[in-house]
Amino acid sequence: MSQTETVAFRMRLHEGQADEYQRRHDAIWPELDALLRESGVVEYRIFLDEETRALFAVLTRRTDHTLDALPDHPIMKRWWAMMADIMDTNADQSPVQVPLREVFRMQ
């Protein structure tokens, strides 16, 4: 069985887009879900701070993941294009992600 690691990052929604963001994720494409799992995602959770519109993502992945190849995948590019109107994005329409440093873990 593969080892796993957890990473966390912050993204940001545009004003008034929380409900739309939730709606789109409630209807996540089966092919995107499959792609993420095949790439090594074990668990992926996103939390919203409604006051600041900050999204906090916590992603557990296999250490032998292939997530670095996702930016070139057509399914990922389509998802990013669909989400670009409701959140901060880079020039390639990928979400602006700010890595978060772990400062505490209780086990």
pTM of the model: 0.93
In a domain, 104, yes or no: no
In a domain, 65, yes or no: yes
- Check if the beta carbon of residue 86 is closer than 8 Å to that of residue 14: yes
Looking at the annotation, which residues are catalytic? 25
Reading the block at residue 78, the tokens are: 């389509």
In a domain, 21, yes or no: yes
In a domain, 107, yes or no: no
Cα–chain-centroid distance for residue 52?
Answer: 18
Task: State the pLDDT at residue 98.
Answer: 98
pLDDT band at 2 (very low <50, low <70, confident <90, very high): confident
Query: Is the torsion defined by CA of 29, 31, 34, 39 positive or negative?
Result: negative
- What average pLDDT does range 19-29 have in this prediction? 97
pLDDT at 1 over 90: no
Q: Which of 42, 76, 47, 79 is nearest to 59 (CA)?
A: 42
In a domain, 106, yes or no: no
Q: What is the pLDDT of residues 54-87, one digit of tens each?
A: 999 999 999 999 999 999 999 999 999 999 999 9
Structural domain for 92, as ranges = 4-99
Q: What is the CA radius of gyration of the chain?
A: 14
Widest distance between CA atoms in the chain: 42
In a domain, 25, yes or no: yes
Q: What is the CATH number of the domain that holds 64?
A: 3.30.70.100
CA distance 95 to 13: 10
In a domain, 85, yes or no: yes
Number of domains in the chain: 1
Residue with tokens 């690691």: 5
In a domain, 105, yes or no: no
